[in-house]
Protein backbone atom coordinates (compact mmCIF):
# COMPACT_ATOMS: atom_id res chain seq x y z
CA UNK A 1 0.00 0.00 0.00
CA UNK A 2 1.40 3.35 -0.99
CA UNK A 3 1.87 5.75 1.89
CA UNK A 4 -0.74 8.55 1.52
CA UNK A 5 1.94 11.17 2.17
CA UNK A 6 3.56 10.28 -1.19
CA UNK A 7 0.22 10.53 -2.97
CA UNK A 8 -0.33 13.92 -1.35
CA UNK A 9 3.20 14.99 -2.35
CA UNK A 10 2.50 14.08 -5.98
CA UNK A 11 -0.78 15.96 -6.05
CA UNK A 12 0.49 19.33 -4.88
CA UNK A 13 2.21 19.28 -1.49
CA UNK A 14 5.43 21.13 -2.37
CA UNK A 15 7.29 20.24 0.84
CA UNK A 16 6.21 16.62 0.48
CA UNK A 17 7.40 16.57 -3.12
CA UNK A 18 10.82 17.87 -2.04
CA UNK A 19 11.00 15.11 0.58
CA UNK A 20 9.92 12.49 -1.97
CA UNK A 21 12.52 13.75 -4.43
CA UNK A 22 15.37 13.75 -1.91
CA UNK A 23 14.35 10.36 -0.45
CA UNK A 24 14.19 8.44 -3.73
CA UNK A 25 16.47 10.30 -6.16
CA UNK A 26 19.82 8.82 -5.12
CA UNK A 27 18.71 5.17 -4.74
CA UNK A 28 16.80 5.38 -8.04
CA UNK A 29 19.78 6.83 -9.94
CA UNK A 30 22.10 4.28 -8.32
CA UNK A 31 19.79 1.49 -9.38
CA UNK A 32 19.61 2.70 -12.99
CA UNK A 33 23.37 3.20 -13.34
CA UNK A 34 23.71 -0.59 -13.23
CA UNK A 35 21.93 -0.75 -16.57
CA UNK A 36 24.67 1.22 -18.30
CA UNK A 37 22.56 4.36 -18.39
CA UNK A 38 24.50 7.54 -17.69
CA UNK A 39 23.66 10.04 -14.95
CA UNK A 40 21.76 12.47 -17.21
CA UNK A 41 19.64 9.71 -18.74
CA UNK A 42 18.94 8.23 -15.30
CA UNK A 43 17.85 11.64 -14.01
CA UNK A 44 15.60 12.11 -17.03
CA UNK A 45 14.01 8.69 -16.43
CA UNK A 46 13.51 9.60 -12.76
CA UNK A 47 11.69 12.79 -13.76
CA UNK A 48 9.59 10.96 -16.38
CA UNK A 49 8.67 8.36 -13.78
CA UNK A 50 7.61 11.05 -11.29
CA UNK A 51 5.45 12.67 -14.00
CA UNK A 52 3.79 9.29 -14.69
CA UNK A 53 3.17 8.81 -10.97
CA UNK A 54 1.83 12.36 -10.62
CA UNK A 55 -0.73 11.68 -13.36
CA UNK A 56 -1.79 8.48 -11.62
CA UNK A 57 -2.02 10.28 -8.26
CA UNK A 58 -4.20 13.02 -9.74
CA UNK A 59 -6.44 10.36 -11.31
CA UNK A 60 -6.76 8.69 -7.89
CA UNK A 61 -5.13 5.46 -9.07
CA UNK A 62 -2.20 5.37 -6.63
CA UNK A 63 -4.37 4.85 -3.59
CA UNK A 64 -5.39 1.48 -5.05
CA UNK A 65 -1.81 0.18 -5.53
CA UNK A 66 -0.95 -2.72 -3.25
CA UNK A 67 2.83 -2.23 -3.36
CA UNK A 68 5.21 0.03 -1.51
CA UNK A 69 5.86 3.35 -3.24
CA UNK A 70 9.53 2.55 -3.82
CA UNK A 71 8.69 -0.79 -5.47
CA UNK A 72 6.17 0.86 -7.77
CA UNK A 73 8.52 3.77 -8.58
CA UNK A 74 11.42 1.45 -9.39
CA UNK A 75 9.23 -0.89 -11.48
CA UNK A 76 8.06 1.95 -13.69
CA UNK A 77 11.57 3.39 -13.87
CA UNK A 78 13.10 0.03 -14.73
CA UNK A 79 10.73 -0.39 -17.66
CA UNK A 80 11.53 3.12 -18.90
CA UNK A 81 15.26 2.28 -18.65
CA UNK A 82 14.84 -0.90 -20.67
CA UNK A 83 12.82 0.99 -23.22
CA UNK A 84 15.66 3.51 -23.57
CA UNK A 85 18.24 0.72 -23.84
CA UNK A 86 16.21 -0.92 -26.61
CA UNK A 87 15.63 2.32 -28.51
CA UNK A 88 19.26 3.37 -28.41
CA UNK A 89 20.73 -0.11 -28.78
CA UNK A 90 22.62 0.22 -25.52
CA UNK A 91 23.64 -2.75 -23.48
CA UNK A 92 23.40 -2.68 -19.71
CA UNK A 93 24.18 -5.35 -17.16
CA UNK A 94 22.10 -7.76 -19.27
CA UNK A 95 20.37 -7.70 -22.58
CA UNK A 96 16.65 -7.15 -22.78
CA UNK A 97 16.17 -10.79 -23.77
CA UNK A 98 17.83 -11.93 -20.53
CA UNK A 99 15.34 -10.02 -18.40
CA UNK A 100 12.11 -11.87 -17.56
CA UNK A 101 9.40 -11.27 -20.12
CA UNK A 102 7.02 -8.64 -18.86
CA UNK A 103 4.11 -7.12 -20.72
CA UNK A 104 4.71 -3.51 -21.63
CA UNK A 105 4.13 -1.67 -18.38
CA UNK A 106 4.13 1.75 -19.99
CA UNK A 107 1.59 0.66 -22.59
CA UNK A 108 -0.48 -0.90 -19.83
CA UNK A 109 -1.12 2.48 -18.26
CA UNK A 110 -3.69 1.27 -15.81
CA UNK A 111 -2.69 0.11 -12.37
CA UNK A 112 -4.23 -3.34 -12.66
CA UNK A 113 -1.85 -4.46 -15.40
CA UNK A 114 1.21 -3.20 -13.54
CA UNK A 115 0.01 -4.74 -10.27
CA UNK A 116 -0.65 -8.03 -12.05
CA UNK A 117 2.86 -8.05 -13.54
CA UNK A 118 4.50 -7.15 -10.23
CA UNK A 119 2.47 -9.78 -8.39
CA UNK A 120 3.45 -12.44 -10.93
CA UNK A 121 7.14 -11.54 -10.68
CA UNK A 122 6.98 -11.52 -6.87
CA UNK A 123 5.27 -14.91 -6.92
CA UNK A 124 7.93 -16.21 -9.30
CA UNK A 125 10.73 -14.99 -7.06
CA UNK A 126 9.09 -16.77 -4.10
CA UNK A 127 9.18 -19.99 -6.16
CA UNK A 128 12.97 -19.75 -6.42
CA UNK A 129 15.34 -21.16 -3.82
CA UNK A 130 16.59 -19.02 -0.96
CA UNK A 131 19.92 -18.25 -2.63
CA UNK A 132 18.19 -16.95 -5.78
CA UNK A 133 15.70 -14.94 -3.76
CA UNK A 134 18.58 -13.38 -1.86
CA UNK A 135 20.63 -12.72 -5.00
CA UNK A 136 17.80 -10.99 -6.86
CA UNK A 137 16.83 -8.99 -3.77
CA UNK A 138 20.38 -7.79 -3.19
CA UNK A 139 20.93 -6.81 -6.80
CA UNK A 140 17.56 -5.45 -7.94
CA UNK A 141 15.82 -4.30 -4.77
CA UNK A 142 18.72 -3.19 -2.57
CA UNK A 143 20.72 -2.03 -5.59
CA UNK A 144 24.02 -3.60 -4.58
CA UNK A 145 26.78 -3.92 -7.17
CA UNK A 146 28.26 -7.28 -8.15
CA UNK A 147 31.43 -6.55 -6.12
CA UNK A 148 29.36 -5.61 -3.06
CA UNK A 149 27.36 -8.85 -3.30
CA UNK A 150 30.60 -10.84 -3.63
CA UNK A 151 31.98 -9.27 -0.46
CA UNK A 152 28.73 -9.38 1.51
CA UNK A 153 27.84 -12.97 0.63
CA UNK A 154 31.37 -14.41 0.51
CA UNK A 155 31.39 -15.46 -3.15
CA UNK A 156 34.79 -16.49 -4.55
CA UNK A 157 34.83 -13.81 -7.25
CA UNK A 158 32.61 -11.45 -9.27
CA UNK A 159 32.18 -13.99 -12.09
CA UNK A 160 30.60 -16.41 -9.63
CA UNK A 161 28.11 -13.71 -8.61
CA UNK A 162 27.30 -12.93 -12.27
CA UNK A 163 26.83 -16.62 -13.05
CA UNK A 164 24.54 -17.13 -10.04
CA UNK A 165 22.48 -14.05 -10.93
CA UNK A 166 22.18 -15.25 -14.52
CA UNK A 167 21.00 -18.71 -13.38
CA UNK A 168 18.45 -17.13 -11.06
CA UNK A 169 17.10 -14.87 -13.81
CA UNK A 170 16.91 -17.80 -16.20
CA UNK A 171 14.93 -19.82 -13.65
CA UNK A 172 12.58 -16.87 -13.07
CA UNK A 173 12.14 -16.36 -16.81
CA UNK A 174 11.30 -20.05 -17.35
CA UNK A 175 8.76 -19.94 -14.51
CA UNK A 176 7.16 -16.76 -15.91
CA UNK A 177 6.95 -18.27 -19.40
CA UNK A 178 5.22 -21.36 -17.98
CA UNK A 179 2.71 -19.13 -16.22
CA UNK A 180 2.10 -17.23 -19.44
CA UNK A 181 1.41 -20.45 -21.40
CA UNK A 182 -0.94 -21.69 -18.66
CA UNK A 183 -3.17 -18.61 -18.98
Least confident segment among 48-52, 86-90, 110-114, 168-172: 110-114
- Residue 39 parent element (H or E): helix 39-58
Q: Residue 138: which pLDDT band, with cuts at 50, 70 and 90? A: confident
Q: Which residue has the higher pLDDT, 120 or 92?
A: 120
Angle formed at CA 23 by CA 20 and CA 24, multiple of 5 degrees: 85
User: How high is the pLDDT of residue 95?
Assistant: 44
For each of the domains in the chain, give its residue range(s) and CATH number, in order of start: 1-93 (1.10.1740), 109-183 (1.10.10)
Name the pTM for this structure.
0.51
Residue (of 61, 78, 67) closest to 115 by Cα position: 67
Q: Per-residue pLDDT for 109 more than 70?
A: no
Q: Which residues of 160-179 are buried (b: 16+ CB within 10 A; e: fewer)?
A: ebbebbeebbebbbebbeee
d(CA 159, CA 165): 10
d(CA 113, CA 108): 6
Q: Per-residue pLDDT for 96 more than 60?
A: no
User: How high is the pLDDT of residue 86?
Assistant: 67
Give 57-75 pLDDT, tens digit per residue: 888 888 778 888 888 898 8
The mean pLDDT value of the chain amounts to 79
Q: Residue 154: which pLDDT band, with cuts at 50, 70 and 90? A: very high
Contact 117, 6 (CB under 8 A): no
Q: Per-residue pLDDT for 50 more than 80?
A: yes
Radius of gyration of the chain (CA): 17
Amino acid sequence: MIDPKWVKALTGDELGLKELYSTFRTPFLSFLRKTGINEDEALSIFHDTLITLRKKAIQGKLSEVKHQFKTYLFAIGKYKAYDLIQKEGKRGWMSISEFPEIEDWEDAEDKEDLDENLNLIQKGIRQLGNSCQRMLTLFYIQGLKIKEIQEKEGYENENTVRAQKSRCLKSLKIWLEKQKTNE
